[in-house]
Amino acid sequence: MPASHTPAGDPDVVTTTGETVLEGTVLRGREFDPVEGRVVVEDGEIVALEEDPVESDGIVLPAFVNAHTHSGDSIAKEAGGGLSLEALVAPPDGLKHRLLRAADGDELVAGMVRSLRYMERSGTGAFLEFREGGVEGVERLRRALDGLSLDATVYGRGDSEVLDVADGYGASGANDTDFTEERAAARAANKPFAIHAGEVNASDIDPALALDPNLLVHMVHADENHLRRVADAGIPVAVCPRSNLVTDVGLPPVEDLLEHTTVALGTDNVFLNAPSMFREMEFTAKLYDVSATEVLAMATHAGADAAGLNCGVVEPGRDARLLVLDGDSDNLTGAQEVVRAVVRRAGTSDVERVVLA
């Protein structure tokens, strides 16, 4: 099973070359049906899922897709406790933006490297990043990713020229400025346009929907009319419940959103919350009346679907972005319902291996 190791420390993070075989309880397909067997990977692609008795305590599942991050503020973890959301992150003079302006480029990159490395080691295989700082901000993220195997979909911000280097455009919110020009530029470049909406209140949701976005973020204050419009347009939504709790803006109506559209989980600003999908899943599962299967879907293939990625599901033909947990760890041994245990109990200490195409 040849593989080139990434120097990310424990747990083992590898990028696959040749053939790699992963054995254990495999959470198969979009419903995560637990089957005993092995996943065969060749040159970064899942080529087979073989159901057979195996002597392994591993739990094989898709690596997580973090559907909303801001990693640039990794230089100031837990800064600004007690401040309002506007005081924390509103452009141009929220605390985050002042900190970003005050830091030099190397400091910002070094902070992002640490956060991205933590994401990779804790089972995240891909993420959707809202990157401040225009072209330079995107280029700094690319530098931070050097040597890591994370798949980043980067939504740049600033002048529309950021689309020359970003994968899409990530707007702060329709109340901040008029994004008509940037939306048109994204459409002309055939790149996605994403926007924050309904985080503090509902006033920016209709203007955001008028821009025909490809992705909405937060939607804490969405009402039934907004939900119908989202459903009719088929717009996926990234929710960040822990972040919304920290900033005291309310909590997204996850159950209602799930009835109307694809809902993906994100961890939001690193300076407010650790970019741990384990923590986000557990919080969501215990806060809302949703099944473990729904939550794991929100943490994997929902984000992949929103970004047009070919991962998030264990099935042949998918990119091999996979996570192996130690089912015999002190934390997971004896688990009766595997998917429920993964969502509500598992953590970074249970990660045995991260396989990234």
Q: Where are the domains of the chain?
A: 3-62+311-356, 64-307
Q: What is the pLDDT of residues 222-233, one digit of tens each?
A: 999 999 999 999
- Predicted local confidence at residue 88, as pLDDT: 82
The type of residue at 79 is: A
Q: How far apart are CA 72 and CA 68, in angstroms?
A: 13
Residue percentage of the chain with pLDDT more than 70? 97
| Residue-averaged pLDDT of the chain | 94
Which parts of 103-168 fold into alpha helices (H)?
105-121, 134-145
CA distances from 244 to 29, 53, 219, 269 (A): 30, 44, 10, 11
User: What's the chain's Rg over C-alpha atoms?
Assistant: 20
Please name which of 346, 306, 343, 291 lies closest in space to residue 213, comparing C-alpha atoms: 306
Q: What is the pLDDT of residues 12-35, one digit of tens each?
A: 887 767 799 999 999 999 999 999
Q: What is the pLDDT of residues 291-330, one digit of tens each?
A: 999 999 999 999 999 999 999 999 999 999 999 999 999 9
pLDDT band, very low/low/confident/very high, at 170 (cuts 50, 70, 90):
very high
- Predicted local confidence at residue 201, as pLDDT: 97
- Predicted local confidence at residue 8, as pLDDT: 36
Q: How far apart are CA 114 and CA 9, in angstroms?
A: 12
CATH topology assigned to domain 3-62+311-356: Urease, subunit C; domain 1 (2.30.40)
- Predicted local confidence at residue 301, as pLDDT: 98
Of 99-113, 251-265, 280-294, least confident by mean pLDDT is 99-113
SS3 21: strand
- Predicted local confidence at residue 3, as pLDDT: 37
Q: How far apart are CA 133 and CA 139, in angstroms?
A: 9
Q: How far apart are CA 61 and CA 34, in angstroms?
A: 9
Confidence check: pLDDT of 66 > 70? yes
Name the strand (E) or helix (H) holding 330.
Answer: none
**CA 260, 268, 10 angle in degrees (round to 5)?**
115
The helices-and-strands tally (H runs, E runs) of the chain is 13, 17
CATH number of the structural domain 64-307: 3.20.20.140
- 299-324 burial code (b ≥16 CB/10 A, e <16): bbbbbbbbbebebbbbeeebbbbbbb
The type of residue at 346 is: A
- Predicted local confidence at residue 311, as pLDDT: 98
Q: How far apart are CA 243 and CA 271, in angstroms?
A: 10
The answer to whether domain 3-62+311-356 and domain 64-307 are alike in fold is no
Q: How far apart are CA 329 and CA 349, in angstroms?
A: 9
**Hey, which bits of the chain come out as E strands?**
3-5, 12-16, 19-28, 33-42, 45-51, 58-62, 64-70, 124-131, 151-156, 168-171, 193-197, 215-218, 237-239, 263-265, 268-269, 322-326, 351-356
Confidence check: pLDDT of 4 > 70? no
SS3 130: strand
